[in-house]
Amino acid sequence: MPASVDTTGLQTSFDVARVRADFPALHQRIYDGRPLVYLDNAATTQKPQVVIDRIRDFYARENANVHRGVHYLSQLASDAYDEARRLIAAFIGAPDPSQVIFTRGTTESINLVAATYGRQCVGPGDEIVLSAMEHHSNIVPWQILCEEKGAHLRVVPVDEQGVLDLEALEHMLGERTRLVAIAHVSNALGTVNPVREIIQMAHARGIPVLIDGAQAVQHLEVNVAELDCDFYCFSGHKMYGPTGIGILYGKAELLEAMPPYQGGGDMIERVTFERTTYNRLPYKFEAGTPHIAGAIGLGAAVTYLNGLDRAAIARYEDELLRYATERLQEVPGLRLIGTAPHKVSVLSFVLDGVHPYDAGTLLDQMGIAVRTGHHCAQPLMDRLGLSGTIRASLALYNTREEIDALVQALYRVVRLLR
């Protein structure tokens, strides 16, 4: 087995040891005392203690329903909930907090747009443009809509490196295109798509653009106003926040024109049996009791990230990805899947003669958490001629020592399974 690559040339001002101390889950030992090496961050990230504490404190001291309550706890809960929305709006550069809709996650955010904007604006013969690297959550809602409306999906191809064919995209945009829905970062490959260029290309033809940012906001500094996207979606649990909470950002004029997604409490202004009038933004799209603790926890995650040097994090994660890419290529028979020039966080690979599931199972027994399978991107796997890959995905708390542990474990996998 080759010796570890010298990492002394990796220069960063980011103190990963200090950050790791904030995440209690990273310090546990599993399977006969093996240290946990957590490399499944594209699926969900671990949570810093401040997020855990903030959720606990809400339930311990502030628990009440939000809005319209006149008592003390309801006022506390409402203030914390509304402040979380303001923090998140500022974090993504939204012009106004009312343009930030709380959802259950990226999946619901996309479904919301499909069920409202889509049903209102897409008709027979119309087209929705996606890419070949989309997550199922950015495919299936549009398929359902197209089946209902008699519309069509058009798919932008990707090359063997996992790079979008922008020339093909430009040719696809036409008079019948009603929306472009594209991932900012591929969850299966780590490719960072040129979304600014894509948005400009679409807007030149009057076509709105939805960006799936589930894999982007935790790695890239996102400003939706500067991007000029029409919709932007992401999930809390992939950016060190709670599960079950996510965001849909939309341009105000689009959100105002869209019908409600669900009916119920808080999304109404007045109800009679003859007619209901709807609440103002953002509440028009937030029927029923929201995930109050989740929203507050996501606000705490944003506050945590704001307290770090985001530029230093980006440099550190880029250096770590480069190091991991070099180390993995030392493993005999390992082939990286997704080698785009601009990528973040994700290392997908296959091992000759080894099924991804078998490799993942053995890695788990050695204390290393990775993801195996198609990663909810089956069309992409079909395009690449694969049933699935092994995916190691990085976060700001991962280390070069953990990459070394992964590589050592992969040598053992190769010895045992070939």
Please list the active-site residues.
376
CA distance 104 to 91: 19
User: Which positions ≥6 away from 208 have C-beta within 8 Å?
Assistant: 117, 178, 179, 180, 202, 230, 231, 254
> What 3-state DSSP class applies to 34?
strand
CA distance 369 to 391: 10
The full length of the chain comes to: 418
The answer to whether the peptide bond before residue 259 is cis (omega within 30 degrees of 0) is: no
> What 3-state DSSP class applies to 249?
strand
- Bridge partner list, 249: 100, 232
| Residue 152: closest CA among 132, 176, 128 | 128
Q: Any idea what DSSP says for residue 343? A: B
If one counts every other C-beta atom within 10 angstroms of the C-beta of residue 36, the result is: 17
Convert 114-182 into a string of H (helix), E (strand) and C (coil): HHHHHHHHCCCCCEEEEECCCCHHHCHHHHHHHHHHCCEEEEECECCCCCECHHHHHHHCCCCEEEEEE
Contact yes or no for 236/84 (Cβ under 8 A)? no
